[in-house]
Amino acid sequence: MSDSSTGSAGAIKAIDKQSVHQICSGQVVLSLATAVKELVENSIDAGATNVDVKLKDNGIELVEVSDNGKGVEEQNFEGLNKLSCEHQR
């Protein structure tokens, strides 16, 4: 297992359609608690040692999770803006 506490996170790469389908069909947010849990787990996975959770109007107006983890490098921001799930009828 590599040490993720040093070095860059690497490039973000698009995933194939089959993987997108599996992710989209398997990860449905059932509650605010589930959503916050997922965001906090992402923070921990990014190596965070400090995680702050803010809710405004009980999470209706705002859910914000901030941390001191490694996160996404600026050169990979564009990859975050691409549509990753498509609704199928």
Q: Are 36 and 62 in contact (CB under 8 A)?
A: no
Quote the percentage of the chain above a pLDDT of 70.
Answer: 71
Start-to-end Cα distance in the chain: 41
Q: Which of residues 67 and 7 earns the better pLDDT score?
A: 67
Average pLDDT for 64-74: 89
| Spatial CB neighbours of 80, under 8 Å, sequence gap ≥ 6 | 12, 72
**Residue 52 Cα to chain centre, angstroms:** 15
**Higher pLDDT residue, 1 or 41?**
41
Give the confidence band of 88 by pLDDT, cuts at 50, 70, 90: very low
pTM above 0.75, yes or no: no
Report which of residues 66 and 86 the model is more confident about: 66
